[in-house]
Structure 1
């Protein structure tokens, strides 16, 4: 008798509820309150109640513990709770954890959540603050003394090498920024609703860390987002069309660090996303041509181009031309550049809307949607589908 392979989990669980707070720069309430609001909204969307929930998954960076959230949201007994590390790289992996719990019978209804006051509270973009001694802190000690203190400075190293290798200028990144803001301008939930930009606006924005301009960097947001996962069988009896989880993967590359993997042989790609891509294509039995919409983690524009290349949508160095040609609907909610920076969880929600047919920038007949999590760090990805098999 052979053991069931992990890659046979596809289609056994589905996302049945999504919910979020408003996206702002000053929420005026605690991160716990944001989390509770998002979870309640997601459960309402799913046609479920707190009493139905028996599993919770969040990020190690989240300040709202699973048990505290359960108490505040009126959730009863829990049979499963888990956390994923590495910042935005955790987003899709929270759903993967939920799938594993549901498919194995450990839990029946699992809520994945993320809530923070990232603009009015702790601002990740402000750089490394005081850290207690740790292995992670020691690793950062190789870079911090030389002024590499912020995520933008870490990404700029790889971005500069990418431009040099392929003979490009920083204008190559502008297509990603313009695309995200175009979609955000039509999205009432987006912070930049009604405010599109042009390539000229991108080129005129101030330098943050060369070759990154202001419009290459995602915004900072206060807010919360929650995702409800249950079995495909139970999903059929719920009010919303399910977004079946066709594939889910995590990935870390060789010589992987947290956004400072500068000792690799090549800085022009994202090997950790390549690990995810290979798993997703194999386990879903799909190819780039089968994807109708891509929701790619866009904390910084260069890494969107590299993701397109890692997934095989285009060749190395061809990402900018691919985006400029509108060859694939990309970040139809506006992304983290245009809608909100929720560590990628709002991207998963947009993928669900695409499958349901309710996105404000709907791709006609979207059947398969790719979603990715944070880049430059150990990461994760999903393929959501209308049907499976």
Structure 2
């Protein structure tokens, strides 16, 4: 029986993105943003859009595959997949789903994308209270909203606070993650926070959102779209750009992670305990082989936990490892979020992180890491399901 793996079988051949806007400021509708990103990815790959025969997305993206196919004039649509789960937990899984369609012959050219126009459809990060709508609240929120836990920072802060307490992690570790993102954004003209540097004093003086999160520990809210194109690895060499290969992919959840009322077995967790080992096993690499990381940073605390759960340091060593000098592209031990990430480049539910990993492997990032042949993307710490990708050059296959 052939080995069941995506390693080396599928390649990313094109990437594209729109201008990134502060939430509510896009002049274009969400669907138009999606089309712009897709067409720019095709141009990057040197590919006629009519070669596309599949789409994959996540987080209930509203730009439906059938409508995209019609707008692009595709001869046929063969694959259309949507990853379950909200937010950015599916940003890597969507790529894996598209790659699986290609590896199994269900499609030849798949676009993976995320589009977001919050001015058109409403803000994701805005708290919704329990007031008049209390009778309609169900599921996990019915255990939280009556006690005032109504926003994402509140829900995730409790997990991070517990983790920091259990392992003696100081606030400075979170600060270093935020400073690294803003540092990289200053060299990235696409970044919304380009030209708006952050230093330790400004971070420390910023208001609390909910402990342990200061203002700069929390991601932005943005409008925009990003897309990439997947093809069979053997066909990828015919495209305009250097192919970037999938080395490994994994998604899922640990036991009872989605238990209601914050009652999971591993409460202070990013939910990568079972996912990270699957990822490394498929790719045939270890943490020491990873040269650069793009970690979903809706909140800095999720990055902290995810990096430990991916084996880059034991939790008790977080304070020593998570310092700014270790996290920057030039000279750092583990360059982190080299485009600025969700905190400082853009928040399109993490898909911009996948594009930055592609740029790193290509060698075209505005903050190029010294070791770029293996790039890790971490999707959605502290949600369920989460997902991971390892991307690499042809030299590591």
Mark yes or no: TM-score above 0.5: yes
Moved beyond 6 Å, runs of 4+: 129-134
Partner of 1:371: 377
- Contact 1:187–1:360 under 8 Å retained in 2: yes
Partner of 1:385: 392
Partner of 2:111: 111
| Secondary structure of the structure 2 residue equivalent to 1:304 | helix
Instruction: Tell me how far 1:133 sits from its aligned partner.
Output: 9.4
| Secondary structure of the structure 2 residue equivalent to 1:359 | coil
Query: Which deviations, in whole Å up to 9, do the C-alpha atoms of 1:148-195 show, x marking residues without a partner?
Result: 111100011112112222234433310100000000111000001122
| 2:362 corresponds to which of 356, 363, 369 | 356
Instruction: Tell me how far 1:132 sits from its aligned partner.
Output: 11
- How far apart are the structure 1 equivalents of 2:319 and 2:66? 44
**What residue ranges of structure 1 are gaps of 5+ in the alignment?**
none
- How far apart are the structure 1 equivalents of 2:7 and 2:39? 27
Q: How many pairs align?
A: 383
Q: Which moved more, 1:69-78 or 1:371-380?
A: 69-78
Query: Which deviations, in whole Å up to 9, do the C-alpha atoms of 1:330-384 show, x marking residues without a partner?
Result: 1100110010001111000000000110000001351100001111111111000
- Structure 1 residues 65 and 133: CA distance shift in structure 2, 3 A: farther
| Secondary structure of the structure 2 residue equivalent to 1:383 | strand
1:202 aligns with 2:203: yes
- Structure 1 residues 129 and 60: CA distance shift in structure 2, 3 A: farther
| Secondary structure of the structure 2 residue equivalent to 1:125 | coil
| 2:11 corresponds to which of 8, 14, 32 | 14
- How far apart are the structure 2 equivalents of 1:293 and 1:200? 27
Partner of 1:288: 287
1:175 aligns with 2:176: yes
- Contact 1:182–1:197 under 8 Å retained in 2: yes
- How far apart are the structure 2 equivalents of 1:347 and 1:133? 38
- How far apart are the structure 1 equivalents of 2:176 and 2:68? 40
- How far apart are the structure 2 equivalents of 1:266 and 1:380? 17
Instruction: Tell me how far 1:99 sits from its aligned partner.
Output: 1.0
**What residue ranges of structure 2 are gaps of 5+ in the alignment?**
327-332
| Secondary structure of the structure 2 residue equivalent to 1:384 | strand
Partner of 1:222: 223
Normalised by the length of structure 2, the TM-score is: 0.92
Q: Which moved more, 1:354-363 or 1:161-170?
A: 161-170
- How far apart are the structure 2 equivalents of 1:319 and 1:128? 34
Normalised by the length of structure 1, the TM-score is: 0.94
Partner of 1:336: 342
Partner of 1:263: 263
Q: Which moved more, 1:178-187 or 1:53-62?
A: 53-62
Q: Which moved more, 1:110-119 or 1:183-192?
A: 110-119
CA RMSD of aligned residues (A): 2.0
- How far apart are the structure 2 equivalents of 1:14 and 1:320? 37
